[in-house]
Amino acid sequence: GENVEQHPSTLSVQEGDSAVIKCTYSDSASNYFPWYKQELGKRPQLIIDIRSNVGEKKDQRIAVTLNKTAKHFSLHITETQPEDSAVYFCAASEAGGSYIPTFGRGTSLIVHP
């Protein structure tokens, strides 16, 4: 089955800095890579996703890049704000088998004002 590794587990930045979270996956058949944000005490919510026919996708201050050859994808947050503080999960979904996403262990992002 799919295996998703996520790093770092904790990321601390100053407001205004950029933050990068990296994930690797094992199954070359995976073709859907969503990112979820979970604020303290709340449910995970999708913030951005990318499919394997796209190398990069941007939505305002967040962007995701995908390298299918190397089997890794990254989340980039620019001009971080305190409200970006949350746990971020990456996931990978297999195309040919079960489409249930396999999640990484999460990154706790702390943005200091």
Partner 1 sequence: KAGVTQTPRYLIKTRGQQVTLSCSPISGHRSVSWYQQTPGQGLQFLFEYFSETQRNKGNFPGRFSGRQFSNSRSEMNVSTLELGDSALYLCASSSSALNTEAFFGQGTRLTVV
Binding partner 1 by CB under 8 A: which of 22, 49, 65, 71?
49
76-95 binders of partner 1 (CB under 8 A)? 89, 93, 95
- The amino acid occupying position 71 is K
Comparison of 41 and 113: residue with beta carbon closer to partner 1: 41
Which position among 24, 37, 44, 50 is part of the footprint of partner 1 (CB under 8 A)?
Answer: 44
Q: Kindly tell me which residue out of 24, 31, 80, 85 binds partner 1, with binding defined by CB under 8 A.
A: 31
Q: What is the torsion angle, in degrees rounded to the nearest 10, for the CA atoms of residue 11, residue 15, residue 18 and residue 24?
A: 20
Buried residues in 44-78 as b, exposed as e (16+ CB within 10 A): beebbbbebeeeeeeeeebbbbbeeeebbbbbbbe
Q: What is the rounded distance in angstroms from the CA atom of residue 84 to the CA atom of residue 3?
A: 26
The β-bridge relationship of strands 107-112 and 86-94 is: antiparallel
Cβ proximity to partner 1: between 50 and 111 the closer is 50
Q: How many residues bind partner 1 (CB under 8 A)?
A: 25
Q: Which residues bind partner 1 (CB under 8 A)?
A: 6, 9, 31-32, 34, 36, 42-46, 49, 51, 89, 93, 95, 98-106
